[in-house]
Amino acid sequence: MNPEADDPIAGSLFALESAVFAGGSSGGGVRDALATRNALAVAYCGGERYTEAADMLREVVEQCTERLGADDPDTLVAAGNLGVALAWLGRFDDALPLLSHVLAARERVFGDEHVDTLTARDALAVTYRLAGQVAAAVGLHAHVVEQRIRVLGPAHPHTLTSRCGLALARIAAGSAGAAANVLSAALVDAEEVPGPPTLATVVLRANLGRCLLQLERPGSAQPLLARALADCTALLGANHADSVTLRGELARIGGNLDPGSSF
């Protein structure tokens, strides 16, 4: 089961946090072997092999806990990855307690505003939304957005991920107007960063267009979705699922389907 199946584009920024362990002064070859299995499980998720990924990550977490310790940074990476894999499988009764545990452990080990703590907080907020616990998702996303803006800056990729998550939670809560405001501000900040379009700008622009459709503003939504399609096609290819989704949305509102169009 893909929990984002009825929420196209939205899940593009919700991914396993790390294919790489942080490493440490102890663990040696054991740590390297566990890191290899963690990376393979992340690759499985990249191929939508979520059940295999979850099974492997569960073993990695058990072995990390036994050999490295429950609060070792690499144990927490593997546990966080397992929680996200379970969320992708729709197993929220398992994912939410695990991600809550990872967040609490990181608060204890790293402190409240360490970047790894904020990663865990964001993953928990997304999983609340996917599980339908919208009020909890909105509150936690708003908190992590404030923290990431303060710690990382408004246009950092992780901050943009959280801002997108907050908007999606507000959409789920029935507040498309508030979500559009969040996405518009985030897109402005993202576009101030020099360089070509990124996946973050595609996701922000696509979701802003979808918000405007909900607000019955197809004329404003069409150029946003068309630009998102052009950038998504350039980044991921014309046959990628997100490109196909965007093309279908444009077709439904009679928009320009040419990904080579300029805007």
Chain-wide mean pLDDT for the chain?
Answer: 86
CB 146 within 8 A of CB 159: no
What are the residue ranges of helices labelled H in the chain?
28-46, 50-67, 73-88, 92-110, 115-130, 134-152, 157-172, 176-191, 199-214, 218-236, 241-252
**Per residue in 115-161, pLDDT tens?**
999 999 999 999 999 999 999 999 999 999 999 999 999 999 899 99
Confidence of residue 26 (pLDDT cuts 50, 70, 90): low
Is the pLDDT reported for residue 16 higher than 70?
Answer: no
At which residue do the structure tokens 């919700």 appear?
Answer: 14
Domain ranges of the chain: 10-132
Instruction: Report the range of poorest mean pLDDT among 47-51, 104-108, 144-148, 171-175.
Output: 47-51
Round to whole Å and give the CA distance between 182 and 165: 10
Per-residue pLDDT band at 178 (split at 50, 70, 90) = very high
Q: CATH 3.40.50.300: does it fit domain 10-132?
A: no
Where residue 18 falls among pLDDT bands split at 50, 70, 90? low
**Token pair listed for 155:** 């246009």
The answer to whether the beta carbons of residues 147 and 118 sit under 8 Å apart is yes
Q: Would the pLDDT of 259 be above 60? A: no
The predicted model scores a pTM of 0.86
| Residue 255 pLDDT level (bands cut at 50, 70, 90) | low
User: In the prediction, which pLDDT does 256 show?
Assistant: 55
Dihedral over alpha carbons 221, 225, 227, 232 (to 10 degrees): 160
56-111: pLDDT as tens digits = 999 999 999 999 999 999 999 999 999 999 998 999 999 999 999 999 999 999 99
Reduce the DSSP state of residue 209 to 3 states and report it. helix
Pairwise CA distance, residues 173 & 24, whole Å: 42
Q: How far apart are the first and last CA of the chain?
A: 37
How far is the CA of 42 from the CAs of 73, 77, 237, in angstroms?
Answer: 17, 11, 22
